[in-house]
Amino acid sequence: MGYGLLAAAIAAEVAGTTAMKYSEGFTRLWPSLVTVVGYLLAFSLLAQTLKTMSMGTAYAIWAGIGTAAVAVIGILFMGESGNLVKVAGVVLVIAGVVVLNLGGAH
């Protein structure tokens, strides 16, 4: 159940961050509301996750996968550059999350 809640927390954080781009500095109502709701949901789900997972591992997964997902969304849908260095960075973030899990997520 911990990983399911964590996946939902990541999805909510990614949705909130993506909506933030469209909020134009919180000047557009609906993207701004999606941002606020996304982050409230993300933090609530992350808090529930911490009942069953270690804090360091859960937060590293949440932040790492969220960061990688937002970077990929930026490249694929928002016209951001997708050079080799950026792709390598995303791969390294994901590798770091895998290593943390191998090191003892519970």
pLDDT, tens only, 47-102: 999 999 999 889 989 999 999 999 999 999 999 999 999 999 999 999 988 888 88
Return the pLDDT at 105.
53
Look up residue 106 and give its DSSP letter: -
Burial of 66 (0-12, 13-18, 19+ CB in 10 A): buried
> What is the rounded distance in angstroms from the CA atom of residue 30 to the CA atom of residue 105?
37
How many domains is the chain partitioned into structurally? 1
* Helix and strand element counts for the chain (H, E): 4, 0
Distance between first and last Cα of the chain: 11
Do residues 34 and 40 touch, judged by C-beta distance below 8 A? Answer: no
Mean pLDDT of 18-40: 98
> What is the rounded distance in angstroms from the CA atom of residue 53 to the CA atom of residue 58?
6
Residue 18 sits in which domain range? 2-102
